[in-house]
Amino acid sequence: MLNLCLFLAVALIMSATVRGAETLPASLTDFSRIGNDQKQESFSADFSSGLRGWTMTSPGEFSLERHGGRNQSPGLKISRKNPADYNIIGHSIKLIPGESYELSFYVKTAGIQGAGIRAGVEFYALKADGTQEYLFPTTYTQGISGSCDWTKIVLKIPRVPARTEKAGIAFFLDKKSYGTAWIDDIEFRSATPSLVAIMIQPHGHRVRSEAPVTLRFVRENGEFFSDSAGREAHMQFNDDPGEGQFIPITNSEASFNLPNLPDGKHKLTCRIVDRHNKQIQDAMSLPLLVGSRPSVFAFSPTGVLVVNGKKFMPLGFYITGLTERTIRLVKEAGGNVVMPYGSLWIGKGRTGIRRKLDELAKSNLKIIFSLKDVYAGINHGITEYDGLRGDDEIVAGLVAALKDHPALLAWYVNDELTFSPMLVRRRDLLAELDPDHPLWTVQYQTTELPVYARIADVIGLSLYSVSNLPPEKSYIGNDAGIRQGTKTSVPFWAVPQIHNLGIYDASRKCRSPEAQEIRTMALLQAGIGAKGFVFYMLDDLWHPNAPADNFDKVWPHVVSVFRDLRSLEPFITSDEPPEEINIAGDEGRVRVFRLRNNGDERIIITALGPGKSQATITVGSKRFRSLHNRCVSSDGKIVFQGTGIDSDVLIPE
């Protein structure tokens, strides 16, 4: 497992912006570099004063070892023999909501089996009764297994949740793991989030020589680069020592034309500079794949996927495996795509997978192929497969075997992992290996969402609203978070909920969504701008922990929603963007959208709950019919009435 430690060290190096022995262009040789990462220490521990202030769920796994630190100083020892045990040691820290921080520490391991040693930062709000409410997103390191010498680990916290009143750092051997680790020199500091350059024009993996290009600058916490007064972006290609280009930054973006570059892989180094004071304030690099042949896929100006010249609206399901039953149900619902979580196991090796894709092609279905688990160092990460060793080799082998198959629609590159150099590297590798298929990532980290455009071509959001509340009290709580999906500069595919959250935790006693709730979660995102819909999760409808009649109750609702989305497809995939209609809601939270296509229109009305809602829409002399009987017309006005999460579609008569 020494390779894993090497991987972690490389990942840390990659997380830094361009530094050190770089080739500066002639126009910047007399510029000085300044840092924007001054940090204020919030917490540190070298264990010279023992374990004072640390709390632990059980003292048996944790001890102070007299010479267990990096320089024979005291260090924290974590040791477990029984993989069934699970304990945590932690320390409270003071954080400012909305600010960014960085946790660093050194770790040494000996014979750790399983997912390994991990560290994390947790956030809590205080309820009125004095109990703690766990806040997302919690941030953890990836697990470290095996044996390795002292290795520095850095964990970035892009943004502390707004309601945070308490916070703490924690160290632990993950569940079902055992072995020994030592921790030393812990530091927790405020930090300026790194700046990331994202190519938003052209949108795709391949760019033509001398083509117009637009870069958007976003910090790792999702904030756009707003403090750009007096600063410019300097572009350097392939470490050319010539002058390069100075480009003004406007609204966090810099637009320029590529020079005349031959087809192939190139490197763009972008530096944020202050020419007046001759300072280099930040730097980052991007790979460029230059080619004259257009990609098989493209996106319309409104974010619609175009495959071989035809618009395509993904409509389908997450699934666990690929069986005759799942294929039949997807077809029955009117879907066109599947996203198997266990894509590597749908057939025996690469040859078996191609046979399964042949079956999909015969059924006119496409696959979003999941690579989400093919990362070294993550929990349950796959590093050996079908004779391939190492995550990059596995990815390269799968891409080579599948990229020419007509059933392949896209690659699923990430499932809720926090933004990191590892994900950036994977995006760049896939863009080079297969520039003809888009990459999709799904996140719950709504506040940082814009930065995820660096790792994928399409973004989705896993925000599930229906839990244990009765329908009249249910509500969509993160309307603002969903809207972040359209602020990323890349297309947005929705992940509406059809599953019962309680199947993963029986103590929660949750329920499955009702028909109007499934429909509303999809229609709200269609109105906001989603151009695809992959519902989570088909197999969960018959999960062993779900009620025996769950599938029979929920499936007709799902089919009905698919039918609605199919009828709206010309409007969702229109070249005219959706328009939100501002209304004065009479009661409750109501969002109204107009979708247009070639002179026709549909009006989507969504109530976010909880409780009753009512809204009046003025339509004048136009006449509409209500698709779901939530609206009545009178005197040039339409009155919508709903309960909980509810919706309707108005169709011109």
> Do residue 280 and residue 392 come from a single domain?
no
Identify which has the larger pLDDT, 578 or 376: 578
Looking only at the bridges linking them, the beta strands covering 366-370 and 245-248 are unpaired
Identify which has the larger pLDDT, 465 or 36: 465
pLDDT in tens, 521-560: 999 999 999 999 999 999 999 999 999 999 999 999 999 9
> Do residue 98 and residue 10 come from a single domain?
no
Backbone angles phi, psi at 121, to 5 degrees: -125, 125
Domain boundary, last residue among 146, 170, 190 = 190
Closest CA to 476 of 487, 488, 466: 466
pLDDT in tens, 156-167: 888 888 889 999
pLDDT of residue 14: 32
Annotate 243-312 with DSSP letters as a single string. Answer: --EEEE-BTTEEEEE-----SEEEEEEEEEEETTTTEEEEEEEEEEEE-SSPPSEEE-TT--EEETTEEE
> Do residue 13 and residue 73 come from a single domain?
no
> Do residue 585 and residue 561 come from a single domain?
no
Contact 538, 318 (CB under 8 A): yes
Q: Tell me the average pLDDT across 338-355.
A: 97
Q: How many alpha carbons lie under 13 Å from residue 18 in its C-beta half-sphere?
A: 22
Task: Find the angle CA(136)-CA(488)-CA(568) to the nearest 5 degrees.
Answer: 100
**Which of 74-83, 104-113, 413-422, 495-504 is least confident?**
413-422
pLDDT at residue 12 greater than cutoff 80: no
Handedness of CA 374, 353, 345, 349 (dihedral sign): negative
Looking only at the bridges linking them, the beta strands covering 439-443 and 408-415 are parallel
pLDDT of residue 212: 95
> Which residue type is seen at 510?
C
Q: 3-state SS of 338-387?
A: EEECCHHHCCCHHHHHHHHHHHHHHCCCEEEEECCCCCCCCCCCCCEECC
Please name the residue that has the structure tokens 């972006």.
233
Q: What is the pTM of this model?
A: 0.86
pLDDT of residue 40: 60
Secondary-structure percent of the chain, ordered helix, strand, coil, rounded to 5: 20, 40, 40
On whether residue 305 sits in a domain, the answer given is no
On whether residue 297 sits in a domain, the answer given is no
pLDDT at residue 10 greater than cutoff 50: no
Beta bridge partners of 102: 156, 189
**Which of 5-19, 189-203, 522-536 is least confident?**
5-19
On whether residue 302 sits in a domain, the answer given is no
Average pLDDT of every residue of the chain:
91
pLDDT at residue 504 greater than cutoff 70: yes
On whether residue 228 sits in a domain, the answer given is yes
Q: Tell me the average pLDDT across 249-256.
A: 93
Beta bridge partners of 168: 92, 122
pLDDT at residue 133 greater than cutoff 90: no
> Do residue 562 and residue 599 come from a single domain?
no
CATH at 48: 2.60.120.260
On whether residue 304 sits in a domain, the answer given is no
pLDDT of residue 85: 94
On whether residue 152 sits in a domain, the answer given is yes
Domain boundary, last residue among 572, 603, 624 = 572
pLDDT at residue 184 greater than cutoff 80: yes
Q: How confident is the model at residue 648 (pLDDT cuts 50, 70, 90)?
A: very high
Distances (CA, A) of 619 to 545, 548, 624, 634: 47, 46, 9, 10
> Do residue 622 and residue 554 come from a single domain?
no
> Which residue type is seen at 99?
E
- Distance between CA 447 and CA 193 in Å, rounded? 13
Closest CA to 246 of 282, 265, 278, 273: 273
Identify which has the larger pLDDT, 487 or 337: 337
Q: Tell me the average pLDDT across 107-126.
A: 93
pLDDT at residue 267 greater than cutoff 90: yes
Domain that holds residue 32: 2-37+193-290
The CB density around residue 424, as the number of other CB atoms within 10 Å, is 18
Contact 143, 178 (CB under 8 A): no
DSSP three-state, residue 213: strand
> Do residue 465 and residue 487 come from a single domain?
yes
> Do residue 540 and residue 404 come from a single domain?
yes
pLDDT in tens, 19-45: 445 688 999 999 998 865 445 657 888
pLDDT of residue 128: 86
Domain count, the chain: 4
DSSP three-state, residue 232: strand
Longest Cα separation, the chain: 84
> Do residue 158 and residue 204 come from a single domain?
no
Contact 7, 377 (CB under 8 A): yes
CATH at 221: 2.60.40.10
**Which of 64-73, 125-134, 611-620, 635-644 is least confident?**
125-134
- Distance between CA 465 and CA 452 in Å, rounded? 23
How close are the terminal C-alpha atoms of the chain, in Å? 67
List of long-range contacts for 71-76, beta carbons under 8 Å, 24+ apart: 73/46, 73/47, 73/48, 73/184, 74/46, 74/47, 74/48, 74/50, 75/47, 75/182, 75/183, 75/184, 76/47, 76/51, 76/171, 76/182, 76/183, 76/184
- Enumerate residues 6+ apart whose C-beta is below 8 A from 539: 319, 320, 321, 326
pLDDT at residue 51 greater than cutoff 90: yes
Distances (CA, A) of 238 to 188, 235, 264, 268, 270: 37, 10, 12, 6, 11
Residue 607 CA from chain centroid, whole number: 26
Q: Tell me the average pLDDT across 195-221.
A: 91
> Do residue 403 and residue 541 come from a single domain?
yes
Q: How confident is the model at residue 139 (pLDDT cuts 50, 70, 90)?
A: confident
pLDDT of residue 72: 93
Q: Tell me the average pLDDT across 13-23.
A: 45
- Distance between CA 133 and CA 129 in Å, rounded? 11
Domain boundary, last residue among 510, 537, 572 = 572
> Do residue 245 and residue 113 come from a single domain?
no
Looking only at the bridges linking them, the beta strands covering 315-319 and 600-618 are unpaired
Q: Tell me the average pLDDT across 191-219.
A: 90
> Do residue 377 and residue 514 come from a single domain?
yes
- Distance between CA 605 and CA 630 in Å, rounded? 9
CATH at 445: 3.20.20.80
pLDDT at residue 137 greater than cutoff 70: no
pLDDT of residue 579: 96
On whether residue 409 sits in a domain, the answer given is yes
pLDDT of residue 42: 76
pLDDT in tens, 225-252: 876 678 999 999 999 999 999 999 999 9
pLDDT of residue 39: 53
Q: How confident is the model at residue 138 (pLDDT cuts 50, 70, 90)?
A: confident
On whether residue 18 sits in a domain, the answer given is yes
pLDDT of residue 227: 65
- Enumerate residues 6+ apart whose C-beta is below 8 A from 59: none
pLDDT of residue 240: 93
Q: Which tokens in the block code for residue 298?
A: 């493209």
